[in-house]
Amino acid sequence: MKTFFIETWGCQMNRHDSERLAGLLVAEGYEQTENVDTADLILLNTCSVREKAVQKVKSRIGELAHANSRAAIGLCGCVAEQMHGSILKTTPSIGFVLGPGQINRLPEAVRLLEQDTRSVFSGFNSTEPDDFDSIVRSNRTRGMVTAIEGCNEHCTYCIVPYTRGPELSRPLDTILAEIQSLAEQGIPEVEILGQTVNSYRCPKTHSDLADLLTLAAGIDGIRRVRFLTSHPRYFNAKLIQAMADHPNVAPYLHLPLQSGSTAILKRMHRRYTREMYLQLVSDIRAAIPHINLSTDIIVGFPGETDQDFDDTMALLADVKFGQVFAFAFSPRPGTPAARYEDQVPETTKKERLQALFALTDRIALELNTALVNTTVDVLIDGSSRRSPEDWQGRTACNRVVNFPKRPGDSIGDSVKVTIVRAGPHSLYGHIL
């Protein structure tokens, strides 16, 4: 039997795309392997959101071709969409290039390859990505389900609208059928995905994300519902209410801020102000007091002054996010911000990033320490990476908890854990 190996970079959407790619290959008679050296086909599912993505891909392809010269390499993901066919000419080890909007064409690309024909599939078609039965679920606790593909926002720094195309919502009934199938497979948690998941609109019924959450939360066997990523601009009172009304909609929200300075937000084309964001946080906390918030920040966006950065720091100190994902601004080819003239020096970006992490780690530790001696519900994800004697799982509010295994418990089980120790990025406890 022919085997394939997949390497995945980037966001949840890419991780889920890898599950879809794997499913399509299994249907073609291939078997997944963790051994890159012996695989017949290697898929590299790439991300281009930051840094020198294209160079990184080229050097990784060189390494893979060196490790296994017999295998054909399929270039997938956002760098594939960015490069189209140009890489085929320079890189003989690549057998096909398949953009994220063309995943369903993988069987065709593979059949062409078997006839020694190299191919390029790029662009965005309007057919929905379906056949969810074939998806190879890599996590037995948390199942990812796409609600909306692509993005219409065009934030001035971001490559995603160019690599994933315009927004396309899946029909509500298809999404619910997929969530139902997760429940039937015994997967207790669903993570509903989209780059701007809260601009979801069913093309048939016009239902929105609040309707989808309500219906998903009502499916028997679904113990937790999460969603990712929300744009602050589309977070409305109905959605807050839907979260507050359903105990199995997780009290956790990732709400990317990007900057605490209204002037920078404007240049980013985020279309909200610092004050609008703070008002939204206060409305959300009024309805769901125990909610855990996380965010994304870009430091050193073109034109960011010390004062702009201080505004971001002050907002972070004020809101107290449980987790902050912060990145130095990275100019992406073809985006407006890459052409702005007032680029911030790399050394300044580095200094700001360090100052930010010092603050956000201190806050995260403070929030986690407040949980010591409390008891939390944890869904078991698998063995802890540090010790095979321990389980690792997550609380409903998305905190990572490690704790000693107890005979009889298994992946996907829900257990009550008393927290005994806290770090900035995880908790340690004992089963009650």
Q: Which is nearer to ligand SAH, 142 or 332 (CB)?
A: 332
- Closest distance of CB 79 from ligand F3S, Å: 8
Interface residue with ligand SF4 among 106, 109, 158, 319 (CB under 6 A) is 158
In eight-state DSSP terms, residue 170 is: P
Element (H, E) at 113: helix 106-114
Q: Does 83 bind ligand F3S (CB under 6 A)?
A: no
Residues that bind ligand SAH (CB under 6 A): 49-50, 157-158, 160, 195-196, 229, 231, 256, 258, 296, 298, 327, 329-330, 332
> Least CB distance from residue 91 to ligand SAH, whole Å?
25
Task: Specify the 3-state DSSP secondary structure of 54.
Answer: helix
Pairwise CA distance, residues 268 & 259, whole Å: 9
Residue 330 contact among ligand SF4, ligand SAH, ligand F3S, none, beta carbon within 5 to 8 Å by kind: ligand SAH
Residue 91: Cβ within 10 Å count: 17
User: Quick one: which of 195, 294, 312, 323 contacts ligand SF4 (CB under 6 A)?
Assistant: 195
Q: What are the C-alpha distances in Å from 57 to residues 48, 60, 160, 248, 315?
A: 9, 5, 17, 40, 36
CA distance 263 to 356: 19
The minimum distance between CB 414 and ligand F3S, in angstroms, equals: 30
Beta carbon nearer to ligand F3S, 151 or 175: 151
Nearer to ligand F3S, 160 or 212 (CB): 160
CB of 166 to ligand SF4, least distance (A): 11
Q: Does the protein bind ligand SF4 through residue 196 (CB under 6 A)?
A: yes
**Separation between Cα atoms, residue 3 and residue 142, nearest integer Å:** 26
Which listed range, 8-16, 37-45, 155-163, 197-205, lies at the site for ligand SF4 (CB under 6 A)?
155-163
**Both structure tokens of 199:** 């601009």
Q: How many CB atoms lie within 10 A of CB 415?
A: 18
Select the residue interacting with ligand SF4 from 71, 106, 160, 319 (CB under 6 A): 160
Residue 53 binds ligand SF4, judged by CB under 6 A: no
Q: How far, in Å, CA of 393 to CA of 226, rounded? A: 15
Q: Which is nearer to ligand SAH, 30 or 329 (CB)?
A: 329
Q: What's the distance, CA 2 to chain centroid?
A: 30
Alpha carbon of 261 to those of 159, 311, 316: distances in Å? 22, 6, 12
8 binds ligand F3S (CB under 6 A): no
CA 182 to CA 412: how far, in whole Å? 12
Q: Which residue reads 């780059």 in tokens?
A: 195
Of 330 and 402, the one with the shorter C-beta distance to ligand SAH is: 330
Nearer to ligand SAH, 309 or 329 (CB): 329
Interface characters, 227-266, with ligand SF4 (x: CB under 6 A): ----x-----------------------------------
Identify which of 318, 420, 325 has the alpha carbon closest to the alpha carbon of residue 368. 420
Using alpha carbons only, give the angle 372, 375, 380 rounded to the nearest 5 degrees: 105
Say if residue 293 is exposed, middle or buried (CB neighbours under 10 Å; 0-12, 13-18, 19+). buried
Q: Is 119 in the site for ligand SF4 (CB under 6 A)?
A: no
Nearer to ligand SF4, 149 or 311 (CB): 149
- Nearest approach in angstroms of CB 127 to ligand SAH is 23
Q: Determine the interface stretch with ligand SF4 among 88-96, 158-166, 272-280, 339-347 (rule: CB under 6 A).
A: 158-166
Q: Which does 77 bind (CB under 5 to 8 A by kind): ligand SAH, ligand F3S, ligand SF4, none?
A: ligand F3S
Instruction: Please check whether residue 100 is in contact with residue 163, taking contact to mean a CB–CB distance below 8 angstroms.
Output: yes
Tell me 201's DSSP state.
B
Which of the listed partners (ligand F3S, ligand SAH, ligand SF4, none) does 39 bind, with a CB threshold of 5 to 8 Å by partner kind? none
CA distance 307 to 353: 15
Angle between helices 12-27 and 106-114 (to 10 degrees): 50
Are the C-beta atoms of 94 and 31 separated by less than 8 Å? Answer: no
Residues that bind ligand F3S (CB under 6 A): 10-11, 13-14, 47-49, 77-78, 159-160, 163-164
Q: Which residues bind ligand SF4 (CB under 6 A)?
A: 151, 153-155, 158, 160-161, 195-196, 231
